[in-house]
Amino acid sequence: MKKLVAAAAIAAAIAGSAHAQMLEALTGDQLEAVLDQAGLNPTMLSDADTGAPVASGKAGDFKFFVRALSCSGAPAACETLVFFANFDLGRDVTAADYRIVNGFNDSQVFGRAYVLPSADEVGVDYVIELNGGVSDDHLAENIGRWADVISAFVAKFREGDPSS
């Protein structure tokens, strides 16, 4: 009897997990909805060349974009989300900017910082990969982390260059 009860419990657990919502790609409408739920105030656009969804949004005082990549189907559903925010330095890029960016990259698990010398900008990006499937909760948690990535980058940059 104990074996029958244990087998029934295992079967119920498997059946319950089979019904969990798993996302492997997002359409533009779905991307807009999850960004809105995260309080990131999205405005939806589309890539001029590919038609893939692009979102602009705001995390606190900081503007950012999300490019959806690895898209297929109609409507296009995309497996990769690249969040990025660029910041105009208002001056030429210096060696100190590279040191600050490298310091951020050395100290952070989430997000990668970069320098755009031709535009006199620095920035940070963050990638969320959906290929293989993620739960709604996992996606929400990762999107929620984006505002923290931007804040950590700005804090690191201000710490390294108080005039920024």
Q: How do beta strands 77-88 and 112-116 pair? A: unpaired
pLDDT digits (tens, 9 = 90+) for 5-52: 333 333 333 344 444 578 999 999 999 999 999 999 999 999 999 889
| Contact assessment for residue 100 and residue 162, using Cβ atoms and an 8 Å cutoff | no
Q: What is the residue whose two structure tokens read 């969804």?
A: 53
Query: Which domains are seen in the chain, by residue range?
Result: 22-160 (3.30.1460.70)
User: How high is the pLDDT of residue 21?
Assistant: 78
pTM of the full structure: 0.83
Structure tokens at 116: 């755009």
| Residue 149: CA count within 13 A, CB half-sphere | 26
Give the contacts of 140 (CB within 8 A, at least 6 positions apart): 34, 37, 38
Q: Determine contact, residues 60/150, Cβ cutoff 8 Å.
A: yes
